[in-house]
């Protein structure tokens, strides 16, 4: 069994970046045998990268999915359920919202599976932890506990792996009768993957729900700039004209403009990213202080798209970021951009997980639990 592929189901699969990450896990083969999403465009992007998708990817509302639809022998179920009702930028309806409420549908399918997956991995925004004063997270943890899972919570910012600020929380559930020897009870020590607010979640629920934690290595430092992630050979036609660049600069606040002018006078050319915001009813641009990207978002409109600024040596240029740059910033440098419009591609990446983060969790958490002997050989 230890040499057998880990059979996985990918709920809310999107364009397949969870699968991309799991297939990079060293020491054991992870085989996605079932995946679903409601959007045809995401299926098409997935299928362009994974030709076997036609055999297992179901374009279906999860409310129409039954446990009997899934194949037998699934050991790992992943769920990146919608974040819009949990995000601080969303409507904050929480798990009663039409989108984030799909967690309950995932749990319903999970309940009907026999046997259930030994491990589940859920991903969402940090707002999940504070939604309705923490009640939504408590309700989700309670439901998973009722299904027989011992639970762990992690918080990982993708900036440890790629030059993008993208904090996300993860819930790892392990069937209580399959907890490995390295699983600890109690409150985990403070670490970069378990900050104080994660400790507080463990402290609050460890007595009532059965929480555990597993020791993890320190997260890497991560790149500090966009070098290697920007398309330096992008078409010149993508760069904005002088009038549009001048309007960009005029919209900057005094503090932002001073930052821009300092970069402009530098003797090196650097890249920065910028978002368009609405401040007191006026649309303005804001330039990041550091040299990494802001959190990529789903492109529902111009304000959610991220612009790239190239500035230095007295030269300035601005354009929208490209789908390839979005892919690179999501850790998917080799992802094939063969399906969908550019805006659909941007949307797919903005709605996805960072490959390197899932790969790190896979190598340091999932593999040691599901294939301990393979994990030891890898070391």
Tell me the pLDDT tens digit for each residue of 111-140. Answer: 999 999 999 999 998 888 888 888 889 999
Tell me the pLDDT tens digit for each residue of 238-264. Answer: 999 999 999 999 999 999 999 999 999
Last residue of a domain, which of 321, 338, 364?
321
Tell me if 228 is assigned to some domain. no
**Averaged over 23-32, what is the pLDDT?**
91
Residues 164 and 312 placed together within one structural domain of the fold? no
Residues 248 and 363 placed together within one structural domain of the fold? no
Residues 124 and 189 placed together within one structural domain of the fold? yes
Q: Is pLDDT at 57 greater than 70 in this prediction? A: yes
Residues 218 and 251 placed together within one structural domain of the fold? no
Angle at the Cα of 188 from the Cα atoms of 197 and 6, rounded to 5 degrees = 105
Residues 52 and 181 placed together within one structural domain of the fold? yes
Residues 208 and 252 placed together within one structural domain of the fold? no
Q: Token digits for 262?
A: 């300092």
Tell me if 335 is assigned to some domain. no
Residues 146 and 288 placed together within one structural domain of the fold? no
Q: Which strands make up the sheet holding 167-175, listed edge to edge?
A: 57-59, 30-37, 6-11, 76-79, 119-124, 167-175, 149-157
Tell me if 192 is assigned to some domain. yes
Residues 132 and 158 placed together within one structural domain of the fold? yes
Residues 40 and 160 placed together within one structural domain of the fold? yes
Q: Which residue segment(s) compose the domain that 217 sits in?
A: 6-223+347-378
The domain tally of the chain equals 2
Say if CB 300 and CB 89 are below 8 A apart. Answer: no
Q: How far apart (Å, rounded) are the C-alpha atoms in residues 173 and 1?
A: 21
């Amino acid at each position: 069994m230890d040499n057998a592929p880990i059979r996985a189901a990918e709920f809310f699969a999107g364009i397949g970046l969870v699968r991309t990450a799991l297939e990079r896990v060293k020491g054991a083969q992870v085989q996605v045998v079932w995946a679903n999403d409601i959007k045809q465009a995401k299926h098409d992007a997935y299928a362009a990268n994974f030709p076997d998708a036609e055999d297992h990817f179901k374009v279906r509302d999860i409310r129409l999915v039954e446990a009997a639809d899934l194949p037998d022998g699934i050991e790992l179920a992943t769920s990146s359920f919608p974040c819009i009702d949990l995000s601080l930028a969303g409507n904050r309806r929480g798990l009663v919202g039409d989108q984030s409420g799909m967690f309950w549908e995932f749990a319903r399918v999970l309940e009907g599976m026999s046997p259930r997956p030994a491990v589940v991995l859920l991903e969402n925004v940090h707002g999940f932890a504070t939604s309705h004063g923490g009640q939504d997270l408590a309700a989700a943890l309670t439901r998973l506990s009722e299904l027989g899972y011992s639970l762990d919570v992690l918080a990982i910012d993708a900036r440890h792996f790629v030059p993008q600020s993208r904090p996300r929380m993860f819930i790892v559930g392990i069937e209580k009768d399959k907890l490995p020897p390295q699983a600890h009870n109690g409150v985990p020590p403070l670490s970069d993957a378990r900050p104080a607010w994660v400790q507080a979640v463990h402290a609050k629920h460890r007595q009532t729900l059965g929480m555990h934690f597993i020791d993890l290595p320190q997260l890497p430092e991560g790149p500090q700039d966009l070098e290697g992630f920007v398309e330096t050979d992008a078409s010149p036609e993508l760069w904005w004209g002088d009038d549009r660049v001048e309007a960009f600069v005029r919209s900057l606040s005094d503090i932002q403009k001073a930052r821009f002018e300092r970069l402009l006078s530098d003797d090196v050319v650097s890249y920065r990213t910028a978002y368009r915001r609405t401040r007191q009813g006026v649309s303005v641009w804001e330039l990041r202080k550091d040299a990494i990207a802001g959190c990529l978002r789903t492109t529902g409109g111009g304000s959610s798209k991220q612009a790239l600024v190239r500035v230095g040596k007295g030269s300035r240029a601005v354009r929208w970021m490209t789908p390839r740059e979005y892919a690179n910033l999501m850790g998917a440098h080799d992802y094939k951009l063969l399906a969908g419009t550019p805006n659909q591609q941007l949307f797919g990446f903005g709605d996805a997980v960072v490959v390197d983060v899932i790969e790190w969790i896979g190598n340091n958490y999932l593999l040691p639990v599901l294939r301990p002997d393979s994990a030891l050989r890898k070391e």
